[in-house]
Chain A
């Protein structure tokens, strides 16, 4: 079943130099396992291909039902050097929430995940 991240998570992002961070938090604690399983480092790197220049790191925070991603080379130099509208990476969070993941039907039903419309 196709599931939109925006339907199962919320997020906030910020910056550190030329790196943007995106913290993604499951809307329901039981959905955290879906984030952990399907929103992988590679999947996120693929998602942002062409938008960021560096690698992606992923950290897990099961205590907050959250994942933290670092998107390196995402801010056109970052800080005052950047010419971007989003020079401080404030809305990369929402760009990540555009992701659609493919969850096996049985698991999606068991966790009552909302299907992508």
Chain B
């Protein structure tokens, strides 16, 4: 058994720095490269792509990432774990194989493909069998929006990834695995943590939470002493050096920018936090109030003390459904009286929409540069040099939203003065794919691992 296992994060979401995976395998020794591609709405985007072309439906950035890290995988035995499979893990695996073949590395990859999280084809059967998949926020049953559902995936835990690694996979591709399982699973595999080693499993989850957003724990988006954080242009992505007892150090490769400190890690720990006593995952419930952080030299933070308790008998399900249309238009009003002019434009626009008989579920106007993010807390903004009116509408009727987009530009000539910033043209109408969080009995979700060589 290795004394220390190094898991490095190379991607915090689909759209993150394309070069980060390569820099993580080349910047210093690591055992595993962990790539997290899936945000809440990503699955639905991938489902739409798969509908258009059955060979798609996965995070295509991953194929390029694999190409860039292939030498490290082949020559140095670095293993890769990614939830890049989206709604089509087998197709993702095939694309990775094709790239390996092109690079003359055919046979060097043993790809573990995890499936079973995709519930779309089983939805009606599940609902009929008494699984309402009620919305966790509103309590409404899924049947309410059933005909508009685009994708439905259970968040699955570390088990199938551990299984794939146990079968000798050096690349593991999953669909909707939890972000944290991607980091915890290799630790569990290497250290042989049992399914009831609650404290160690919880430690692995906390390690995952810290690095799953990439550089957001190593100096990116860090408010603490932000001016002093060096060389963000060359920011080092994080890695954990973990031990069998569940303690680990968060650090980054030498000669990279950014910073790993108690403060940068603390900020990431509280990111998207709910009840810190119960961070619920499929494998374990981690208690974030037990986490101890200590400086362990420059750019090193020791994490210890983490306690875990058994998980629930449910899995979270992420359902994506079509929820109407929206469009957002903007105009910039300028001093003197920038805010007052923008407010008048808002009033005029609302009157015109009313007169046109357009009905929306929601109209929201914000005054960017004055009150958009801090509301009344921002204080007196009457002297602002410029204020952007940001006007959005949302509703089920595409035509109404479309009609709204034609009402912005006229204001330039027939509304309040000192207006600019309309060069972008008419706002774009966007179909909304909304997120429906639900729970399902664990027992009905069966995962499967296929090894492809």
Interface residue ranges, A against B (CB under 8 Å): 10-18, 21, 23, 25, 27, 47, 50-51, 57, 59-66, 68, 70, 76-81, 83-86, 91-95, 98
Contact of B292 with A63 in the complex, beta carbons under 8 Å? yes
Contact across chains for A81 and B267 when beta carbons are under 8 A apart = no
Measured CB to CB, the nearest residue on chain B to A66 is B270
Q: Which residue of A lies closest to B388 (CB)?
A: A85
Cβ of B289 within 8 Å of any chain A Cβ, yes or no, is yes
The answer to the question of B453 belonging to the interface, with a C-beta cut-off of 8 Å to chain A, is no
Is the contact region of chain B dominated by helix, strand, or loop, or is it mixed? mixed
Q: How far is the CA of A77 from the CA of B392 in the complex (A)?
A: 13
Residues of A within 8 A of B52 (CB): none
**Counting CB contacts under 8 A, is B275 at the interface?**
yes
- Residue contacts A-B, CB under 8 angstroms, 11 given: A10-B263, A12-B268, A12-B270, A15-B272, A23-B270, A64-B269, A79-B434, A81-B394, A84-B364, A86-B373, A91-B373
Check A25 against B263 for contact (C-beta < 8 Å). Answer: yes
Closest chain B CB from A26 CB (angstroms): 10
The CA-CA distance from A81 to B392 in the complex, in Å, is 11
Instruction: Contact check, A80 vs B276: say whether CB atoms are below 8 A apart.
Output: no
Known: A12-B221, A25-B263. A50 touches B269 (CB 8 A): no
Given contacts A10-B223, A80-B434, 19 further A-B contacts (CB under 8 A): A12-B268, A14-B272, A17-B137, A21-B274, A51-B376, A51-B377, A61-B288, A63-B290, A63-B293, A64-B293, A66-B266, A68-B276, A70-B274, A80-B433, A81-B323, A85-B366, A85-B368, A94-B373, A95-B373
In the bound complex, do residue B223 and residue A85 qualify as a contact, i.e. CB atoms below 8 Å apart? no
> Could you tell me if A83 and B326 are in contact, using CB atoms closer than 8 angstroms?
yes
Hey, which chain B residues are within 8 Å of A23, CB to CB? 266-267, 269-271, 273
A59 near B276 (CB under 8 angstroms)? yes
User: With A and B bound together, what is the CA distance between A85 and B223 in angstroms?
Assistant: 20
Q: Tell whether B46 is near chain A: CB-to-CB under 8 Å.
A: no
| Shortest Cβ distance from residue B429 to the other chain A in the assembled complex, whole angstroms | 13
Given A63-B290, A76-B364, A79-B435, is A21 in contact with B41 using a C-beta cutoff of 8 Å? Answer: no
Chain A residues within 8 Å of B326, by CB: 83
Q: Within the assembled complex, what's the spacing in Å between the Cα atoms of A98 and B378?
A: 8
Within the complex, which residue of A15, A16, A64, A76 is in contact with B362, where a contact is CB–CB below 8 Å? A76
Q: Which residues of B sit under 8 angstroms from A62, Cβ to Cβ?
A: 289
Q: Which residues of B from 302 to 335 have beta carbons under 8 Å from A?
A: 305, 323, 326, 328
Most central of A10, A64, A95 by chain B CB within 10 Å? A64
Chain B residues in 8 Å Cβ range of A12 = 221, 223, 267-268, 270-271
Q: Which residue of A lies closest to B288 (CB)?
A: A61
CB atoms of A81 and B266 under 8 A apart: no
Min CB distance B40 to A, Å, is 6
B372 proximal to A (CB < 8 A): yes
Q: Which of B237-294 contact A (CB under 8 A)?
A: 263, 266-277, 288-293
Min Cβ gap A74→B in Å is 11
User: With A and B bound together, what is the CA distance between A39 and B240 in angstroms?
Assistant: 33
User: 0/1 per residue, B152-169, Cβ < 8 Å to A?
Assistant: 000000000000000000
B269 near A85 (CB under 8 angstroms)? no
Give A15 to B270 CA distance when docked, in angstroms.
11
Q: Are B376 and A17 in contact, with the CB atoms below 8 A?
A: no
B224 CB-CB contact with A under 8 Å: yes
Residues A85 and B432 in contact in the complex (CB < 8 Å), given A17-B437, A68-B276, A76-B364:
no
Closest A residue, CB atoms, query B376? A50
Task: Tell me the bound Cα distance from A11 to B270 in angstroms.
Answer: 8
Q: Is the CB of A51 within 8 A of B435?
A: no
CA distance A94 to B375 in the complex (A): 12
Do A83 and B328 have beta carbons less than 8 Å apart? yes
CB of B262 to closest CB in A, whole Å: 9
Q: Is B390 an interface residue (CB 8 A)?
A: yes
Tell me which of A10, A50, A57, A62 has the highest count of chain B C-beta atoms within 10 A of its own C-beta: A10
Which chain A positions have C-beta within 8 A of B269? 23, 64, 66
B203 at the interface (CB under 8 A from A): no
Q: Is B393 an interface residue (CB 8 A)?
A: yes
Given A63-B289, A80-B41, A86-B373, answer yes or no on A16-B392 (Cβ-Cβ < 8 Å).
no
Please indicate the chain A residues that have their CB under 8 angstroms from the CB of B390 in the complex: 85
Question: Cβ of A10 and Cβ of B224 under 8 Å apart?
Answer: yes
